[in-house]
Amino acid sequence: MKALLPRPLFLLASFVVAVQAKVYERCELAKRLKDHGMDSYQGYSLANWVCLAFFESSFDTEAVARNKDGTHNFGIFQINSGWWCTYSDTASDNLCEIDCQELLHPGIEHDILCAKRIVEDPQGMAVWDEWKTHCENQNLTEWVKGCHL
Ligand SMILES: *[C@@H]1O[C@H](CO)[C@@H](O)[C@H](O)[C@H]1NC(C)=O
């Protein structure tokens, strides 16, 4: 019996591990966002950010979705390639001055910096449809409940 996987299978297995998505736990994400100054950033409580991330990506840092207009949304906050970052799908204003794929890193530092830039615009978090639908004007206390922050 062979103890080792045939080489192609071994390589495939390594690849799968290497690209495995980091999916945050709710409180883990809350803590990370708080540590990066997101609590009350532009007046939005931490719970707003956790709620947003849940409905945009289910806390999956590698979430990518294609929009009808051909642009894509990236990462935990589903940041759009048409405006905020560069990707091969479209000419972008690249307002966050970043390659969109940087928004898929498990550490989410780039996502946080870019989200801060996004909410500095007048419409704030209302640029995110999922936030408007599920989080705006809601009682959000459950999103950070039980978290040791
Ligand atoms: C929000 O919900 C929590 C329970 O989930 C409740 O204790 C609290 O009073 C509510 N706050 C408001 C403003 O309704």
Q: Whose CA is nearest to atom 1 of ligand 1?
A: 139
User: Which domains are delineated in the chain?
Assistant: 20-140 (1.10.530.10)
Please compute the mean of the pLDDT values over residues 72-94 and round it to a whole number. Answer: 95
Question: Residue 135 above 80 pLDDT?
Answer: yes
Computed over every residue of the chain, the mean pLDDT equals: 90
Question: Residue 11 above 60 pLDDT?
Answer: no
Q: Angle at Cα 140 formed by Cα 143 and Cα 149, nearest 5°? A: 45
Question: Residue 66 above 90 pLDDT?
Answer: yes
Residues 6+ apart with CB under 8 A from 91: none
3 state DSSP class of 39: coil
Catalytic residue among 25, 28, 56, 62: 56
Sheet arrangement for strand 64-66 = 64-66, 72-74, 79-80
Query: Of ligand 1's atoms, which has the minimum distance to the CA of residue 142?
Result: 5
111 CA distance to ligand 1 middle (Å): 29
Structure tokens at 48: 């707003």
122 CA distance to ligand 1 middle (Å): 28
pLDDT above 70 covers what percent of the chain?
87
Pocket flag, ligand 1, residue 141 (CB < 6 Å): yes
Radius of gyration, alpha carbons of the chain: 17
Nearest C-alpha neighbor of 119 from the set 57, 49, 59: 49
Tokens 């894509």 found at: 72
Question: Residue 126 above 70 pLDDT?
Answer: yes
Please compute the mean of the pLDDT values over residues 122-132 and round it to a whole number. Answer: 97
CA distance 24 to 71: 25
Q: Which amino acid is at 82?
A: G
Question: Residue 16 above 50 pLDDT?
Answer: no
Give 101's pLDDT tier (boundaries 50, 70, 90). very high
Tokens 């495939």 found at: 12
User: Quick check: is 97 catalytic?
Assistant: no
pLDDT tens figures, 39-62: 999 999 999 999 999 999 999 999
Pocket flag, ligand 1, residue 145 (CB < 6 Å): no
142 CA distance to ligand 1 middle (Å): 8
For the whole model, what pTM was predicted?
Answer: 0.86
Question: Residue 4 above 60 pLDDT?
Answer: no
Give 3's pLDDT tier (boundaries 50, 70, 90). low
- Give the pLDDT score at 6: 46
141 CA distance to ligand 1 middle (Å): 7
Helix ranges (DSSP H) in the chain: 7-18, 26-35, 46-57, 109-119, 129-134
